[in-house]
Amino acid sequence: MQALIVIDLQNDFCPGGSLAVTEGDEIVAPINALMDAFDAVILTQDWHPVGHSSFASSHRSQAPFDVIDMPYGPQVLWPDHCVQGTSGADFHADLNIDKADIIVRKGFRPEIDSYSAFFENDHKTPTGLEGYLRTRGIVDLTFVGLATDFCVNFSAVDAAKLGFDVSVRQDLCRAIDLDGSLTGAKEGMKTAGVRLV
């Protein structure tokens, strides 16, 4: 059983959004075209409350893209993005969400960010996706979406560590690329046993 996992293909990560990823919208049509080839289609949705702790605006004297120490480790501070119920948090209008079997929301706890579709940034608190996949007998995962070096990277590495067979379609991902984060992400994924296609 093979699943396509589409990471955070939301307006705020697309051109015009508050944390826009260059060419983020270009991958929507080819991702739609891929959906029918899989036994399951899973979407993730970054879903932050107003004032989330990953927003630079929630911290005095911090600017977007600064890194601070949180109790669970270093955290990049972001522009406000994907706030629950806003149009920025909506999926890209052309994404075929009708094909989704399940939508996994993440980042909804005020005090902790969640890049990975499996665990929050403490690498411990589960989202429940692992149980969903295991109970459906899904062993083979293909990741696409945004952003290659953050949410796709963290999700793919966690999936590989959990023992899933993991591929990342690099042509169907786009990166934020902060200070070499894309290079680091590719190395980390390869080390974890992720197939970069």
Footprint of ligand VGL (CB under 6 A): 8, 13, 46, 78, 115, 146-147, 150-151
Whether 186 is catalytic is no
Task: Decide if residue 120 touches Zn ion (CB under 5 A).
Answer: no
Q: How far is the CB of 23 from Zn ion (least distance, A)?
A: 19
Q: Catalytic residue among 151, 158, 173, 186, which? A: 151
Q: How far is the CB of 46 from Zn ion (least distance, A)?
A: 4
Q: How far is CA 69 from its chain centroid? A: 21
Whether 106 is catalytic is yes
Nearest Cα neighbor of 32 from 55, 9, 51 is 9
Among 12, 25, 46, 80, binds Zn ion (CB under 5 A): 46
At 90, list the tokens. Answer: 């909506």
Specify the residue, 42 or 151, whose C-beta has the smaller distance to ligand VGL. Answer: 151
Q: How far is the CB of 181 from Zn ion (least distance, A)?
A: 15
How far is CA 128 from each of CA 52, 64, 75, 102, 131, rounded to the nearest angstrom? 21, 30, 23, 11, 6
Sorted by sequence, the CB contacts under 8 Å of residue 97 that are 6+ apart come out as 43, 91, 103
Three-state DSSP class for residue 176: coil
The phi and psi torsions of 92 (rounded to 5 degrees) equal: -50, 135
Report the partner that residue 164 touches, choosing among Zn ion, ligand VGL, none (CB closer than 5 to 8 A by kind).
none
What is the tally of helices (H) and strands (E) in the chain? 4, 8
Specify the residue, 155 or 167, whose C-beta has the smaller distance to ligand VGL. Answer: 155
Q: How far apart are CA 7 and CA 146, in angstroms?
A: 6
Q: How far is the CB of 80 from Zn ion (least distance, A)?
A: 10
Report the partner that residue 31 touches, choosing among ligand VGL, Zn ion, none (CB closer than 5 to 8 A by kind).
none
Q: Catalytic residue among 14, 106, 173, 186, which? A: 106
Catalytic residue IDs: 8, 106, 151
| Contact residues: Zn ion, CB under 5 A | 46, 107
